[in-house]
Structure 1
Amino acid sequence: MEIILKEDIIGLGFKNDIVNVKSGYGRNYLIPQGKGVIASPSAKKILAENLKQQAHKLAALKAAAEEKAAQLNGVVVEVAAKVSVTGQLYGSVGAAQVADELAKLGKEVDRKIITMKDAKKVGDYVALVHFHKEVIVELPVKVVAENAAELQAAADAEAAIKAAADAKKAAANEAEAAEAADEAEALEAIDAPAEA
């Protein structure tokens, strides 16, 4: 089923695009919600005429989108999240958290235009910000441990416990070796007088 979109829908298309969708999705969601209309021949003619008349408005929208995109050049978003000792996040980091961090940096971006695969581990990711159908910005996102000091302390404590256990084991092995040497010496002493 061909639909003319009346607004931007991330993952499907942008306003005034003609897209193919499944009949149920078009009839039960897009058309009743006012997000699209059936792409009949007459609707396509009206769309073409409207696009001709709105060409300068569309150019202005694209210019505004490029201006917003320029504000995000060089911006790296750092999201602090709670992390387990293994580096796994409690939950995940997605578009909503990226939008919140951008707001803290003074860059207001609607979370609905941000797409990002949910981050479930500490590391570097990329979020896409769709300002316009021709203006998409790749935004680097760094997920860091909120409780890094606690994790480091836990790792240090674990390493110290392991080192202490290794030292204790080495001391026990050394004592065992000394005891075996003493035993061998005693046996030699016992055997020596018998030979004389």
Structure 2
Amino acid sequence: MATHTITTQWGEIPENADDLALVQGGAFRTFRCECGIPLPTRVAAELHATETNQCTACLGSADDEVVPGFVRRCAACAATGRRNVQLVWELAHSEAEQVITLGLVRGLVDGFTGPFRLSEVADATRMALGLPVGRLPVGPRVRDLLRELEAAGELVMLSAPDELLRGPSVVLYKDPQWQRVPEPS
């Protein structure tokens, strides 16, 4: 039985690198599987991971190296490295998109009189829907909707990034804080 451990090697990253291509696009890295199958691109690595029942996000490692030196547990497969768990989470994310609506989050945010944290809105959402912890990926969905409200000018983020992963262009927020923008008088 062949071992299918897929590893990632980072190449030289130029100073003017496209940060979106770096973080999400699989740029500036190469891939290798212990079984010897050539994996010249991220797509080839993902296809091989699928064929060997491994998570296509972390390629079976259970870790996600966002940029060189910053590793976090893979959220796509709940840090298992397995494809079947990843598929369950993808379905849960789709269900969360249907159940946790912009209107619901906007209504919950309207109940806060001052600044509020992502975790507070996620907890309020979970309570409003009667969801047990771990039933759906509430936090990531609420985060996306809060960012949407921020982009629409309804909220302003008050938090500074917790970590700069690649200067000011790739940052990490752990539990960001927002505030509603007052209505014009």
Asked if Structure 1 and Structure 2 have the same fold, meaning a TM-score greater than 0.5 normalized by the shorter chain, the answer is no
Q: What is the TM-score of this pair, normalised by structure 1? A: 0.28
Higher fraction of helix: 1
The structure with the greater share of residues assigned to strand is 1
Q: TM-score, normalised by structure 2?
A: 0.29
CA radius of gyration, larger in: 1
